[in-house]
A and B are shown apart, each in its own frame.
Chain A
Amino acid sequence: MMDCKTLLHLIQLYLDNEANHEQTELLLKHVNGCNDCRCIYEFETAFRSFMAKKMNEIPVTEQEINDLQNKISEQIQINES
């Protein structure tokens, strides 16, 4: 069985969508058999989704996007003339 230290590294790869098939298999197998690593894996997963959720709470409205788009188009027009 793979050692737990290597697994920490694999967890990050996996959550970054950078683990290949073989690495994914190794990870899942280890996590199923090792309680410590399973806890870490679950924590890491929850931590990522917490961060993603919080970051996506930052509001960007359609209005804001449209206003900025208009401002950019105007500025480009000015720069051209």
Chain B
Amino acid sequence: MEDDLALEEEFEGKPPLSEEENQLRKIRFEREFYPHLGALLRFAKTLVKEEELAQDLVQETFIKAFRFMHYFEEGTNAKAWLFKILKNEFYSFYRKRSKEATFSGYAALEEETGEEDGQITMHAQNLSTEIFGQLIGDEMSMAINSLPADYRMTFLLADLEGFSYEELAAIFKVPIGTIRSRLHRARNHLKKQLTAYAKSLGFKTEDEDDGL
């Protein structure tokens, strides 16, 4: 978000591009960025439930990418750059809709970390992986949506897009340790949520089955 403002400011006062420069910019834009459109759209659809909103986020991302393209260093990671813009779009959207529930989950997630580390895993582990397999996409997307925005973004960028800790640290401008702890907390939260869903659907955990 502050990136965005900084970019805007820097952009002001730049001389307009010539017709030829502009044509080149368009060609480069299409070649470098359009191949990632599908990945961004899938990501956005996982990030927000409303399909229209997902499309809007991606559209805004690409329009910004075009506007600020002279900041993109050719040969560097175009996909990471696009995701960085998407992250900002997502945040600014939630700022506009402030007091949205999405930002209010932090306290709960911080508390969860007080729990013994292995405990959550053990707990989830009691549900056989087959049961997880029977949970449907809806439950998973509910669980993902119950994560606070930062955690959700970080988790999805890591697990859906395969970004490294280092790339994520650059995208969020935070230390690698922060990325690691966000991922850790996000995964623990998901395990707990999914375990709870499975139980509410009447699946028995293994420990109930055979008294382990």
Question: Which residues on A sit within 8 Å (CB–CB) of B162?
Answer: 17
Given contacts A16-B165, A46-B129, A51 and B38 within 8 Å (CB-CB): no
Question: Counting CB contacts under 8 A, is B159 at the interface?
Answer: yes
Question: Which residues on A sit within 8 Å (CB–CB) of B199?
Answer: none
In the complex, the answer to whether A50 meets B125 with C-beta atoms within 8 Å is: no
What's the nearest-Cβ distance from chain B to residue A3, in Å? Answer: 11
- Could you show 28 A-B contacts with beta carbons less than 8 Å apart? A5-B118, A8-B121, A12-B184, A16-B164, A16-B183, A17-B162, A17-B164, A40-B122, A40-B125, A43-B124, A46-B129, A47-B129, A47-B187, A50-B133, A51-B190, A54-B135, A54-B137, A55-B156, A56-B160, A60-B42, A65-B37, A68-B41, A69-B34, A69-B37, A72-B63, A76-B26, A76-B66, A79-B63
Count residues of chain B with CB under 8 A from any CB of chain A. Answer: 41
Question: Counting CB contacts under 8 A, is B80 at the interface?
Answer: no
Given contacts A18-B164, A47-B124, A58 and B42 within 8 Å (CB-CB): yes
- A residues near B, CB below 8 A? 4-5, 8, 12, 16-18, 39-40, 43-44, 46-48, 50-52, 54-58, 60, 64-65, 68-69, 71-72, 75-76, 79-80
In the complex, the answer to whether A72 meets B59 with C-beta atoms within 8 Å is: yes
- B residues near A, CB below 8 A? 22, 26, 34, 37-38, 41-42, 45-46, 55, 58-59, 62-63, 66-67, 117-118, 121-122, 124-125, 129, 132-133, 135, 137, 140, 156, 158-160, 162, 164-165, 180, 183-184, 187, 190-191
Number of A-B contacts (CB under 8 A): 87
What's the nearest-Cβ distance from chain B to residue A48, in Å? Answer: 7
Question: Which residues on B sit within 8 Å (CB–CB) of A5?
Answer: 117-118
In the complex, the answer to whether B62 meets A55 with C-beta atoms within 8 Å is: no
Given contacts A4-B118, A43-B121, A54-B140, A48 and B159 within 8 Å (CB-CB): yes
What's the nearest-Cβ distance from chain B to residue A81, in Å? Answer: 12
Given contacts A65-B37, A68-B55, A44 and B121 within 8 Å (CB-CB): yes
